């Protein structure tokens, strides 16, 4: 969820509730030590006992390919007391994979084992160390080997996105592999991929036996999905849900504008980046997105938000001359 699931969106979603924990965007680890300010940039929650303002714990995700570098930086990160350290072997992005990161390592089970073993040894025993993987690069032939390598290396939980790198995000996710991986390892396996509705959640659990499920794009598309899954609100989106979400959309704009006031185009892009998936769930989000799709001017965006969000929206910037 690079470029999407930053601390502002994590704050917005966890204020709504229903999440047991969340994960940062990945922090790239190369040869040099990662400065503390970089960890705090990706995870400002480190200044709040590694929890969002709503109190949801946050794990910091690392991405790299060198066991020693990852172990050294994991030790430095552990001193900052995150709620846990997650290792990324699932990112399918070409720019990441070209530099031997993310899913590009899924052809090397021994390297996965060595990375987990090095990181596990470098951090306190009480520190949670987890991993996320896909099923493979071009095919799932090594999926079991990779999962076992991560488990025996010391991962305490394993999130499996049930697609290969080549699959990208094309449906359907290959849920049947989650059951095979569960049978092959002794650690908890958390299912991931194509959970956009409560029905999807139940089908994944029934198909795979996974007790826990990670939702990414589904939560961004429907911020109430976790609550729906828990039975805390209706299973299907409603106009009332959008009314409840409107002030949070306005709040989100105010936060991204405050952070990027010197670059309004970037602030506008962050707003559109959330509205785009919200279109999947809410008709009103589609209208709002289409209205500002070609707009980068902050004053004009403010005018549109005031018009379409109405009383739910408080101004984010001065409208004076």
Q: Determine, yes or no, domain membership for 320.
A: no
* Residue 281 belongs to domain spanning: 239-312
Q: Determine, yes or no, domain membership for 317.
A: no
User: In this structure, are 110 and 221 located in the same domain?
Assistant: yes
User: In this structure, are 218 and 118 located in the same domain?
Assistant: yes
**H/E stretch holding 36:** helix 36-42
pLDDT score for 81: 98
CB atoms within 10 A of CB 317: 16
Q: Determine, yes or no, domain membership for 62.
A: yes
Q: Determine, yes or no, domain membership for 259.
A: yes
User: In this structure, are 125 and 270 located in the same domain?
Assistant: no
pLDDT score for 4: 77
User: In this structure, are 139 and 276 located in the same domain?
Assistant: no
Q: Determine, yes or no, domain membership for 24.
A: yes
User: In this structure, are 262 and 219 located in the same domain?
Assistant: no
- Going across the sheet that includes 129-133, the strands are 22-28, 58-63, 85-89, 129-133, 158-161, 189-192, 213-214
pLDDT in tens, the chain (321 residues): 667 789 999 999 999 999 999 999 999 998 889 999 999 999 999 999 999 999 999 999 999 999 999 999 999 999 999 999 999 999 887 777 766 788 999 999 999 999 999 999 999 999 999 999 999 999 999 999 999 999 999 999 999 999 999 999 999 999 999 999 999 999 999 999 999 999 999 999 999 999 899 999 999 999 999 999 999 999 999 999 999 999 999 999 999 999 998 999 999 999 999 999 999 999 999 999 999 999 999 999 999 999 998 866 655 554 332
Tally of structural domains, the chain: 2
Active-site residue identified among 22, 43, 91, 146: 91
User: In this structure, are 223 and 283 located in the same domain?
Assistant: no
Domain boundary at 229, 257, 287, which? 229
pLDDT score for 310: 81
User: In this structure, are 293 and 170 located in the same domain?
Assistant: no
Question: From CA 207, how far away is CA 25, in angstroms rounded?
Answer: 29
User: In this structure, are 58 and 37 located in the same domain?
Assistant: yes
Question: From CA 291, how far away is CA 287, in angstroms rounded?
Answer: 6
User: In this structure, are 100 and 131 located in the same domain?
Assistant: yes
Task: Tell me the whole-structure pTM to 2 decimals.
Answer: 0.92
**Contact yes or no for 180/142 (Cβ under 8 A):** no
User: In this structure, are 162 and 211 located in the same domain?
Assistant: yes
Q: Determine, yes or no, domain membership for 249.
A: yes
Active-site annotation holds for 210:
no
Domain boundary at 229, 262, 279, which? 229
**Contact yes or no for 233/224 (Cβ under 8 A):** yes
User: In this structure, are 296 and 218 located in the same domain?
Assistant: no
CATH number of the CATH domain containing 46: 3.20.20.70
User: In this structure, are 94 and 58 located in the same domain?
Assistant: yes
Q: Determine, yes or no, domain membership for 234.
A: no
Domain boundary at 194, 229, 264, which? 229
Q: Determine, yes or no, domain membership for 2.
A: no
Instruction: Give alpha helix (H) positions in 187-282.
Output: 198-208, 217-221, 225-229, 239-259, 264-278
């Amino acid at each position: 969820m690079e470029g999407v699931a930053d601390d502002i969106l994590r704050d917005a979603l966890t204020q709504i509730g229903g999440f047991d924990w969340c994960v940062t965007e990945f922090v790239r680890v190369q040869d040099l030590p990662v400065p503390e300010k970089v960890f705090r940039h990706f995870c400002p929650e480190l200044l709040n006992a590694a929890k969002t303002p709503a109190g949801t714990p946050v794990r910091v995700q690392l991405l790299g390919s060198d066991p020693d570098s990852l172990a050294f930086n994991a030790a430095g990160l552990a001193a900052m007391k995150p709620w846990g350290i997650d290792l990324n072997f699932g990112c399918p992005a070409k720019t990441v994979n070209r530099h031997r990161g993310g899913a590009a390592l899924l052809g090397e089970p021994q390297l996965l084992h060595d990375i987990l073993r090095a990181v596990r040894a470098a951090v306190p025993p009480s520190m949670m160390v987890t991993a996320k993987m896909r099923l493979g690069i071009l095919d799932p032939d090594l999926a079991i080997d990779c999962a076992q390598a991560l488990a025996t290396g010391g991962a305490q939980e394993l999130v499996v996105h049930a697609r290969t790198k080549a699959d990208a995000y094309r449906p359907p996710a290959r849920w049947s592999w989650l059951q095979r991986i569960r049978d092959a390892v002794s650690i908890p396996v958390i299912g991931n991929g194509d959970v956009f509705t409560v029905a999807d959640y139940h089908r994944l659990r029934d198909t795979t036996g996974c007790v826990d499920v990670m939702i990414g794009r589904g939560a961004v598309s429907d911020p109430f999905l976790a609550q729906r899954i828990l039975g805390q609100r209706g299973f299907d989106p409603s106009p009332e849900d959008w009314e409840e979400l409107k002030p949070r959309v306005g709040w989100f704009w105010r936060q991204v504008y405050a952070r990027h006031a010197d670059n309004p185009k970037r602030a506008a892009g962050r707003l559109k980046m959330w509205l785009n998936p919200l279109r999947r769930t809410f008709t009103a989000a589609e209208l709002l997105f289409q209205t500002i799709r070609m707009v980068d001017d902050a004053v004009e965006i403010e005018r549109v938000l005031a018009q379409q969000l109405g009383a739910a929206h408080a101004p984010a910037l001065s409208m004076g001359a």
